[in-house]
Structure 1
Amino acid sequence: MNEKAIEEGEAAVILRDELKEKIALNGGLAVDMMNWLADQYRKTYTKFHDLILPGKKGCAILEADTPFQQLWR
């Protein structure tokens, strides 16, 4: 990967194998990870919705037919 920072900051690297091991051993971490991923998905979906349908009224997330919403039907 190749990234450029526009201001001073810190970056962290989490190795995939280490993350898999930690998630397998810690169920709470697995739930937190799923919640974080769901939040990121919703934010990304909303950004795309706003780009594709500018000015449309309503909540983009409630209009989505996502796997997360299908769980609650």
Structure 2
Amino acid sequence: FAMVTMLAVQECGLDPARVNIHGGACAQGHPIGSTGSRLIVTLAHAMAAQGARRGIAALCIGGGEATAIALTRD
């Protein structure tokens, strides 16, 4: 999991300080059946702590599939 993020940061020239700053499944666990809800709650708390208006959470489903959600707050 971690290598995909590291490669994307390098290949796309992204700022590592702004990508996956709270870790992913390797850092926070990957419980079966609750990964999506854990990601959304983590994202919502991170957005509130940083005063961010927009955030994106993404996860792999397996078999080459994935899903993502974009959150906005006032």
Normalising by structure 2, report the TM-score: 0.31
Counting strand residues as a fraction of each chain, which structure ranks higher? 2
Q: What is the TM-score normalised by the length of structure 1?
A: 0.32
Q: Normalized per residue, which structure has more helix?
A: 1
